Amino acid sequence: MDDATRGRPHDPAWARLWGGRFRGELDPQIAAFTTSLPVDRRLYRADILGSIAHATMLGRRGIIPAPDAERIVQGLREILGEIDAGVLPIQGAEDIHTFVEAALRARIGEPAGRLHTARSRNDQVATDLRFYLKGEIVKIVSRTIALQQVLLALAEAHPSVIIPGYTHLQRAQPVLLAHHLLAYLWMLQRDVERLRDAFVRTDVLPLGSAALAGTPHPVDRQMVAELLAFARVSENSLDATADRDFAVEFVAAAALLMVHLSRLAGEIVLWATSEFGFVELSDTISTGSSIMPQKKNPDAAELVRGKAARVLGDLTTLLAMLRGLPLAYNSDMQEDKEAVFDAIDTANASLHAMGLVLHGIRFNREVIDARLRGGFMGATEIADHLARRGLPFRQAHELAGRIVLYAQEQGKELWELSPEEYRQFSPLLDAAAAAALADAASPTGAVASKRSAGGTAPERVAEQLGAARAAIARSLSWVAAVPAAPVEREAPSPHPGPAQARPDHGA
């Protein structure tokens, strides 16, 4: 056997956990088609820790001899350390569960054969995926918080910049730039809350359900849950082995997170156009064109916008895979992992890239100020002002419209009209009221007047900044309070070397 075929599905040394009832050999092409190792290899840590907890429980309950349980746990810890260190390559087996058991047998011999007592790969894979996902949810929440902090810092750094606010992508009313940036912070806050919520339903232990029906062995599922830091054990073995709701919920939360990032990215792409010109992106996050020497493209933002599509696809994959499946485990479900992993990787990479894009953004005050002219964005202000003086809003709206027309003809801004010009339009206006009207129609006046709760007035935005800081602090304490699994404490460090050397990414 040459190096290219060693450890591949057609290698006779290919490990599998069955065979007693088989006479024929598995077709190598079917072996290659059905293997999940290239994908589920990244569950190795979850799989090994799950096995350590299971073996510990089997030993303590006397289901297997205590010395065997100890050798199993010891062997598994060594295997974990060697995989972490990159010296034990993950290859030569049908899936990660088989690989770990085969590696254990090679190391400790016969006692390894007792590890799979009272367990099936069906409750094992569900446990692995839940355990792994819990850790990944915490990481994504942390990265989302980090991006919120970047938005918060940008908002704090620009407390008084006013930009045009848009509806229908037409200039509508002026708003504080900080208010606009905080809008995204609140979207991300809801994403954090949705991810935390998905965590709660992921935090349930399937192990002990065995293949589908439970097990005759006197297992202590609560003990395993405690060793792995699961909040509770599942109620129904059929449901526990066939349920992937938790994966759907996570990917749905990730898809919405990506939609939010994609809207922010899309807006940055728009703002970076010469037509808008609101922002200048730093050279470190832009790319050039191979043909047009003048180009500076907002590539990173465009790709964040585009990558949202992948996660929407991942969600569709999961829902489509699950629909119509009879209970309990079906091999279709092996397809869940690729979608979940892709959603994790895409969300992580996009959150990170978005942070870099925002770090490298510079707001172009002159262009933004120029865009506050010409749009008559104070018109609503005039109508509101007249309505507050007693004119029915409909009439006030009509009158403000005529004032806009007049200003346009005069080539003036609403805030540049004199009190006399205003007074031509309504007998309700005395000199002081007409002067106040001009002020109210200016960008600063319009922004200052929006004092309703959640409005863009500077004092409301200052309150909002306080609420945002408090929300971030709450999320950070949630992250800090997520318990580590007791089995993990004695396990080798999860980050022994440089990231590239770690075997859990990619096939």
Active site residues: 168, 289
Examine residue 95 and tell whether it contacts ligand ARG (CB under 6 A).
Answer: yes
User: What is the secondary structure of 61-122 as a DSSP string?
Assistant: TTSS-HHHHHHHHHHHHHHHHHHHTT-S---SBSSHHHHHHHHHHHHH-GGGGGTTTT--HH
* Residues in region 464-483 near ligand ARG by CB under 6 A: none
274 CA to centre of own chain: 31
Tell which positions 332-351 bind ligand ARG, by CB under 6 A: 333-334
Least spacing, CB of residue 150 vs ligand ARG, in Å: 37
Q: In angstroms, give the least distance from the CB of 60 to ligand ARG.
A: 26
Residue 47 Cβ, how far from ligand ARG at the closest point, in Å? 10
| 36 contributes a contact to ligand ARG by CB under 6 A | yes
> Which CB atom, from 199 or from 341, has the smaller least distance to ligand ARG?
341
Sole binder of ligand ARG in the list 15, 125, 182, 461 (CB under 6 A): 125
Q: What is the DSSP string of 17-68?
A: S--TT--SPPPHHHHHHH--HHHHGGGHHHHHHHHHHHHHHHHHTTSS-HHH
Q: Choose the binding region for ligand ARG from 327-335, 363-371, 378-386, 466-474 (rule: CB under 6 A).
A: 327-335
Q: CA separation (Å) from 267 to 83, 137, 204, 443, 480?
A: 43, 27, 39, 22, 33
- Which of 68/136 has CB closer to ligand ARG? 136
Asked whether position 40 contacts ligand ARG by CB under 6 A, the answer is yes
Q: Please tell me the distance from the alpha carbon of residue 406 to that of residue 417, in angstroms, as a whole number.
A: 10
Distance from C-alpha of 165 to C-alpha of 375, rounded to nearest angstrom: 11
Residue with Cβ nearer ligand ARG (26 or 309):
26
Contact pattern from residue 220 through residue 249 relative to ligand ARG, giving x for each residue in contact according to CB under 6 A and a dash for the rest: ------------------------------
| Interface size with ligand ARG, residues (CB under 6 A) | 10
Candidate residues 56, 122, 202, 286; the one interacting with ligand ARG per rule CB under 6 A: 122
Q: What is the DSSP string of 169-199?
A: TEEEEEEEHHHHHHHHHHHHHHHHHHHHHHH
> Binding to ligand ARG by residue 450, rule CB under 6 A?
no
- Rounded-to-integer distance, Cα 19 and Cα 26, Å: 10
What distance separates the 2 farthest-apart alpha carbons in the chain? 102
> Do 410 and 418 meet the contact criterion of CB atoms below 8 Å apart?
no
Which positions from 385 to 424 touch ligand ARG by CB under 6 A, shown as an x/- string? Answer: ----------------------------------------
Taking the least distance from each CB to ligand ARG, the nearer of 94 and 413 is 94
Sign of CA dihedral 429, 431, 437, 440: negative
Minimum CB separation from ligand ARG for residue 331, in Å?
6
Binding site for ligand ARG (CB under 6 A): 36, 40, 95, 121-122, 125, 329, 331, 333-334
